[in-house]
Structure 1
Amino acid sequence: MKLKALLALFFGVIAVFAFSPFNLWPLAFFSFIGLVALSINVNAKKSAIIAFFWGLGFFGAGVHWIYVSIQQYGELPIPVALLLLSLLIGYLSLYPALFAFLLNRLAKPYSFVQLVIAAPALWQLTEFLRGWILSGFSWLQLGYTQLNSPLKAYLPIFGVNFLNLFVPMLCGLLLYLFSIRHRIHRLTIYLVVVSILVFSVITGYLSPIHWTKVDTSRKVELALVQGNIQQSLKWNKDQLETTLSTYKQLTQAHLSSADIIIWPEAAITDAELNQQDYLTALDKQARENKTTVATGIIDVRYRHHDIDVFNSIIVLGDRVPYAYLNDNRYSKHHLVPFGEYIPLAQLFKPIAQLLNVPVSSMTAGERTQPPLMMQGFKFTTVICYEIILPELILDNFQPDTDFLLTISNDAWFGNTIGPWQHLQMAQTRAVEFGRSLIRSTNNGITAVINPQGEIIDQLPQFEQAVLSVSVSPSIGETPFAIWGNWPYWSLTLLLFLITFWFKIRK
Structure 2
Amino acid sequence: MSSLPQRIILADGWTRRAIAFAAGAAGALALPPFDFAPAMAIPLTTAVWLIDGAAAQGGRFGFAPIRTAAAAGWWLGFGYFLASLWWLGAAMLVEADQFAWAIPLAVIGLPAALAFFPAFGFALSRLLWSSGSLRIFALAAGLGASEWLRGHILTGFPWNDVGMALAQAGPIGQAAALVGLNGLDLFAIVIFAAPATIVDRRPGERFLSNAAAWSAALLLFALSAYGALRLARGETEYVEGVKLRLMQPNLPQDAKFRPENGQDILRHYLALSDRATGPERTGVSDVTHLIWPESAFPYILSREPQALSAIAHALQGKVLITGAARIESDGGGKRGKIFNSIEVLQGGRILAFYDKMHLVPFGEYLPLEALLRPLGVSHLVPGTWDQGQGPRTLAAPGLPTMAPLVCYEAVFPGEATARDKEGKRPQLLLNVTNDGWFGKTPGPYQHFAQARLRAIEEGLPLVRVANTGISAIVDPYGRTVDSLPLGEEGLIDGGLPKAIAEPLFARHGTIVFPLLWALVLAAAMTGRWRR
In the superposition, the TM-score normalised over structure 1's length comes to 0.88
Change (3 A) 1:251 1:206: closer
Give the corresponding residue for 1:342: 366
Asked whether 1:441 is paired with 2:466, we answer yes
SS at match of 1:473: coil
Give the corresponding residue for 2:90: 68
Asked whether the equivalents of residues 41 and 193 of structure 2 are also in contact (C-alpha less than 8 Å), the reply is no
Read off the aligned partner of 1:479 and give its amino acid letter.
Answer: L
Asked whether 1:426 is paired with 2:451, we answer yes
* Uncovered stretches (5+) of structure 1, i.e. residues with no partner: none
How many Å separate the matches in 1 of 2:270 and 2:461? 26
Give the corresponding residue for 1:28: 40
Cα-to-partner distance string for 1:208-259 (whole Å, 9 max, x where unaligned): 2258664446252211111222111111122111111111222234320111
SS at match of 2:387: coil
The 5 Å alignment of 1:165-244 reads 165-185=186-206, 188=209, 196=217, 200=221, 203-210=224-231, 214-216=236-238, 218-244=240-266
Asked whether 1:250 is paired with 2:275, we answer no
How many Å separate the matches in 1 of 2:49 and 2:493? 50
How many Å separate the matches in 2 of 1:50 and 1:503? 22
CA displacement at 1:121 relative to structure 2: 2.0
Cα-to-partner distance string for 1:84-108 (whole Å, 9 max, x where unaligned): 532112111111112212322x134
Asked whether 1:298 is paired with 2:298, we answer no
Asked whether 1:412 is paired with 2:437, we answer yes
Cα-to-partner distance string for 1:96-144 (whole Å, 9 max, x where unaligned): 112212322x13453456431x322221221222222332221111111
Give the corresponding residue for 2:415: 392
How many Å separate the matches in 2 of 1:243 and 1:221? 24
* Identical positions, percent: 26
* Uncovered stretches (5+) of structure 2, i.e. residues with no partner: 1-11, 55-64, 276-282
SS at match of 1:471: coil
1:480 to 484, 495, 505: 505
1:45 to 51, 61, 67: 67
Read off the aligned partner of 2:15 and give its amino acid letter.
Answer: L
Cα-to-partner distance string for 1:300-331 (whole Å, 9 max, x where unaligned): 222245621111111112xxx5545x4x2211
Change (3 A) 1:493 1:356: same
CA displacement at 1:156 relative to structure 2: 1.3
SS at match of 1:341: coil
Read off the aligned partner of 1:153 and give its amino acid letter.
Answer: Q
Give the corresponding residue for 2:385: 362
Read off the aligned partner of 1:110 and give its amino acid letter.
Answer: S
CA displacement at 1:174 relative to structure 2: 4.1
Asked whether 1:125 is paired with 2:137, we answer no
CA displacement at 1:408 relative to structure 2: 0.4
Change (3 A) 1:78 1:340: closer
Asked whether the equivalents of residues 135 and 337 of structure 1 are also in contact (C-alpha less than 8 Å), the reply is no
Read off the aligned partner of 1:98 and give its amino acid letter.
Answer: F
Change (3 A) 1:239 1:188: same
Give the corresponding residue for 2:290: 261
How many Å separate the matches in 2 of 1:190 and 1:92? 32
How many Å separate the matches in 2 of 1:503 and 1:201? 27
Asked whether the equivalents of residues 393 and 401 of structure 2 are also in contact (C-alpha less than 8 Å), the reply is no
Mean Cα displacement is larger for which, 466-475 or 134-143?
466-475
| RMSD after superposition | 3.0
How many Å separate the matches in 2 of 1:278 and 1:225? 18
Cα-to-partner distance string for 1:392-440 (whole Å, 9 max, x where unaligned): 1143597563321101000000111100111111221122222221111
Asked whether the equivalents of residues 219 and 471 of structure 1 are also in contact (C-alpha less than 8 Å), the reply is no
Asked whether the equivalents of residues 356 and 387 of structure 2 are also in contact (C-alpha less than 8 Å), the reply is yes
Asked whether the equivalents of residues 212 and 476 of structure 1 are also in contact (C-alpha less than 8 Å), the reply is no
Change (3 A) 1:235 1:13: same
Give the corresponding residue for 2:172: 151
Cα-to-partner distance string for 1:158-186 (whole Å, 9 max, x where unaligned): 11210011111234444345544541257
Read off the aligned partner of 1:200 and give its amino acid letter.
Answer: F
1:19 to 10, 13, 31: 31
Change (3 A) 1:217 1:78: closer
Mean Cα displacement is larger for which, 494-503 or 429-438?
494-503
Change (3 A) 1:330 1:187: same
Cα-to-partner distance string for 1:27-47 (whole Å, 9 max, x where unaligned): 112321212322332122222
Asked whether 1:81 is paired with 2:108, we answer no
How many Å separate the matches in 2 of 1:272 and 1:451? 32
Asked whether the equivalents of residues 222 and 261 of structure 1 are also in contact (C-alpha less than 8 Å), the reply is yes
Change (3 A) 1:302 1:191: closer
SS at match of 2:430: strand
SS at match of 2:294: coil
Give the corresponding residue for 2:489: 464
Change (3 A) 1:191 1:171: closer
How many Å separate the matches in 2 of 1:191 and 1:300? 56
